[in-house]
Amino acid sequence: MKANVCVYLDKRNIKFNQKKPLNFNFAKFFLFVKFFYYCLKSEFMSKLIPVILSILVAFNLSAQCIPGFEYYVNYTVDNTAGSQNLNNHQVSITLNTSDLISAGKMNADGSDIRFFDNACNPLCHSIESGLNTTNTTIWVKVSSIPQAASTTITLQYGNPAATSTENGNCTFDFLEDFNDSQFNFVDSCGNGSITTDGAYGTINWTNSGVYLSDFLLTQGSSYTIEAMVMGVSGNWPAIYLYKTDYRTYGLMANVSIPDIRISVQGSTAGLCQGHNWASPLFGYTNSNGLWSLTWVATGDLRAKFPTVADFSSTDNLYALDSDLAVGIGGISSGSGNFMQVDWLRARKFSPTPITTIAGIEMIADDLPVPTLGQWSLIILALSLGIVGLLNLKLNTGKIRGLVI
């Protein structure tokens, strides 16, 4: 049967339809080659394969990973200045969703947003803020980013029937979004309480109240913890990174002054033990916004806080030599202490910032625009194709109905 298929193809007129752009992918190409594997002894097929290969490679096929989504954009994730291989690393993309939504290209709720790696494996994503604005921030967890190199991820959209696949818990190493009362905390100390209104979480305490994440950040990577704080009061509300022996560093505010510092736990280990200064105190004018603490390495801690320039600490009392837990709450006394938070999360940190560069928007049936490197492959492939055609014509006399 397989031989008969080859003989049949050998005798039929063959035409390549120029009215429709090629819309294959490499997976389809390999299936195509496998289908004709048993036909390689056919003289016609042995001459035609270079032609097929040249056409498929020359046009780089289609970058559409799944059907039904009308548009796609390729993003270059640039780690060329980096000295580390990054695995399951979060990168941020800024996208003008306002124009896309107003043009009817993207669903108003972003439910048709999809991301894929360069092998068309789906990637987790989370929309941080600004949907239907000119500066929408989307986080994508990229499975592999090689050191001193770049990789490509693909954004697809344009499917009115699509349902959302956004998943913050999949995207980040830890996330508490306070959308429900099933909080992602496993331990606590003091006399605090935590509640949610479905949007924001509120932590109240009198003496102390600290909550610890139910997930450990594994040793071997550096992490940034971040909280989007909507309001605080009282003394020493903070976010923390705890070692497994409860030794900890924090980003701690004294609201009554007001000032902010990187703090280090004293000699006694425990969730609600007192902290000392690990950095200078910095005055601030507004505490609402992004609180960020990164434990890069032993003796290297970095912080970001609203209305304050980035600051750091070289305190090396505790070594970064264990898994870490994320903490939030306050160590203080008196009434009226609270934190109101939109979300609390942890993500991997890279000493060299990872940048993303957007390509042009493509319609799913469009042929991709080749890069300079791809042009060299195209020229080589077309040359092989021409040689294949010449050999085919010399050996068969003529090709009836063949149109290129």
Predicted model pTM = 0.77
Task: Name residues whose C-beta falls within 8 Å of residue 278's C-beta, 6 or more positions apart in sequence.
Answer: 249, 261, 262, 263, 264, 301, 313, 315, 317
pLDDT digit string (tens) for 84-133? 999 999 999 999 999 999 999 999 999 999 999 999 999 999 999 889 99
pLDDT above 50 for 212? yes
pLDDT above 70 for 77? yes
pLDDT above 80 for 222? yes
Decide if 223 contacts 325 (C-beta within 8 A). Answer: no
User: Which secondary-structure segment (H or E) carries 339?
Assistant: strand 337-349
Rounded-to-integer distance, Cα 383 and Cα 403, Å: 17
Burial of 70 (0-12, 13-18, 19+ CB in 10 A): middle
What does the mean pLDDT of the chain come to? 84
Q: How confident is the model at residue 5 (pLDDT cuts 50, 70, 90)?
A: very low
Helices (DSSP H) in 87-135: which residue ranges? Answer: 97-102
Q: Work out whether the CA dihedral 318, 324, 326, 331 comes out positive or negative.
A: negative
pLDDT, greater one: 25 or 273: 273
pLDDT digit string (tens) for 50-69? 555 545 544 444 457 899 99
**Residue found by looking up tokens 């954009």 in the block:** 73
**In angstroms, what CA-CA distances link 251 with 164, 329, 352?**
34, 11, 23
DSSP assigned state of 275: E
DSSP assigned state of 76: E
The two structure tokens encoding residue 242: 């705890």
Structural domains in the chain, sorted by start? 2-62+372-396 (no CATH), 71-171 (2.60.40), 186-339 (2.60.120.560)
What is the separation of C-alpha 130 from the centre of its chain, rounded to a whole number of angstroms? 17
